[in-house]
Structure 1
């Protein structure tokens, strides 16, 4: 049992370290020029990073000091975060699936705007309604 607690503590510690760049990315988005994607994403990214940090701290403390109720909170919190990240991935796919990206100057990738997205206007619109 001690080995599994050490593994959970190590994974939680890595999650704590990885949440810091997520929070930093949200703060960086807040300093960028305003467009629709930045306005929508800056606070959710910061909140997601903070939630990952809090859940990882609960998992680390629960595993390190063997507190079962903290480990239960950690497992439920991670399940909720995984579901939220899956929803975010589906949302990003829905916005970019039509391929309506615009060329951005000096960028190797296409720029997408939320104004171009409409579930009703897409050829597959009936699937999303």
Structure 2
């Protein structure tokens, strides 16, 4: 894994406390915001940078971005598709202080590290937001 210095801007998010979206070919520069973000690669390959550490994620791999953490996305393949869930602070409850004071050692979940229930939950949240 490669470490690079990260320059970023603060993204002011407003609206719903939970935003779940699907898309393709995401390219987004280094930024941070106060919400928790889950980023799942559904197909193709996306280079995800978190706190200056960059990793190429493939289909079925997930990145967990804690609040106020610099992160970015760079599509590597034209057919890359993703699902993203952004959770507002009110949904984090008692975990909010820990999520803002700590950082995961491994913000990338791949293979057996990603429980199938996570995929099920993300797809369920997406279906609920569409109804």
Q: Tell me the TM-score range normalised by the shorter chain.
A: under 0.3
Q: Please tell me whether Structure 1 or Structure 2 has the larger radius of gyration of its CA atoms.
A: 1
Higher helix share: 1
Q: Which has the higher strand share?
A: 2
Of structures 1 and 2, the one with the larger relative CO (CA 8 A, separation 6+) is: 2
